[in-house]
């Protein structure tokens, strides 16, 4: 899989799938989640409500998929990152699960290009450097016959610098 780094807004990315850093309610919030729901329109929220009704809340580290409403992407994969609480071992495992489960879901949907935001590094306060290492490791260790390109979309300068260095 090719890895690309882009600085900017994930809602503008033309990829088969973009990943949302959601919360377990799946009903929207601030940060990238707010931006995706605002730009994507009501259809995404309606599908999230449908998923909630069928399977309940989304657990930390897990991922679900909706269509992408008005966004240029085909799918939005909603994953729930861990809230940083200082437990590095547990937090790291859960964040790794977010990337791994999103990639598995993307593969099952025959996605060729997928874009990730820097999950958990905003409101959830996960240390950015550690989060970047986990994200890149999970992507590099994921062997796919289907996914051709993974785009890391960094919104803030600090994450962009970290990813530039790590990649
Ligand atoms: N495109 C790409 N990345 C963005 C964008 C954007 N438009 N906007 C922000 N980011 P956060 P979390 C970056 O807080 O830490 C929400 O309320 C931002 O710079 O969005 O996983 C949810 O509903 C940061 O690096 O997500 C949850 O309740 C990264 O996205 C909670 O926040 C993640 O920041 C999830 O917290």
Name the closest-CA residue to atom 3, ligand 1. Answer: 155
Which residues, in sequence order, are CB contacts of 50 under 8 Å at separation 6+? none
Strand runs labelled E in the chain: 2-7, 17-22, 63-67, 75-80, 113-116, 149-154
d(CA 31, CA 133): 21
pLDDT value of position 20:
98
How close is the Cα of 147 to the center of ligand 1, in Å?
24
How close is the Cα of 140 to the center of ligand 1, in Å?
23
* 54-89: pLDDT as tens digits: 999 999 999 999 999 999 999 999 999 999 999 999
Round the average pLDDT of the chain to a whole number and report it. Answer: 98
Record the pTM: 0.98
The answer to whether ipTM exceeds 0.90 is: yes
Element (H, E) at 145: none
CB contact burial 62-91 (16+ within 10 A = b; e otherwise): bbbbbebbebebbbbbbbbbbebeeeeeeb
| Percentage of the chain modeled with pLDDT above 70 | 100
17-22 β-sheet, strand order: 2-7, 149-154, 113-116, 17-22, 75-80, 63-67
- CA of 28, closest atom in ligand 1: 23
In the residue annotation, 157 being an active-site residue is answered as no
* 130-147: pLDDT as tens digits: 999 999 999 999 999 999
Catalytic residue among 33, 137, 156, 157: 33
d(CA 155, CA 117): 8
Q: Is the Cβ atom of 20 under 6 angstroms away from ligand 1?
A: no
Q: Is the Cβ atom of 123 under 6 angstroms away from ligand 1?
A: yes
What is the mean pLDDT of the segment spanning 27-49? 98
How close is the Cα of 111 to the center of ligand 1, in Å?
23
H helices of 18-118, where? 31-40, 42-55, 88-108
Fold of 2-166: 3.40.220
pLDDT band at 101 (very low <50, low <70, confident <90, very high): very high
How close is the Cα of 31 to the center of ligand 1, in Å?
4
What is the mean pLDDT of the segment spanning 21-34? 98
- Please choose, from the candidates 4, 38, 33, 52, the residue with its C-alpha nearest in 3D space to the C-alpha of residue 120: 33
pLDDT band at 13 (very low <50, low <70, confident <90, very high): very high
């Amino acid at each position: 899989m090719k890895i690309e780094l882009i600085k900017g807004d994930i809602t503008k990315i033309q990829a088969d799938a973009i990943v949302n850093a959601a919360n377990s309610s799946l009903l929207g919030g601030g940060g990238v989640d707010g931006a995706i729901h605002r730009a994507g329109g009501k259809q995404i929220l309606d599908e999230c409500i449908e998923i909630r009704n069928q399977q309940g809340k989304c657990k930390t580290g897990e991922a679900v998929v909706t269509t992408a409403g008005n966004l240029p992407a085909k799918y939005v994969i909603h994953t729930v990152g861990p809230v940083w609480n200082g437990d590095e071992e547990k937090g790291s495992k859960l964040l790794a699960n977010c990337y791994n489960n999103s990639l598995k879901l993307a593969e099952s949907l025959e996605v060729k290009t997928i874009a990730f935001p820097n999950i958990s590094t905003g409101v959830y306060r996960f240390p950015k450097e550690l989060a970047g290492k986990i994200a890149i490791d999970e992507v590099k260790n994921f062997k796919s016959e289907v996914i051709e390109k993974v785009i890391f979309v960094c919104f803030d300068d600090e994450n962009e610098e970290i990813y530039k260095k790590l990649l």
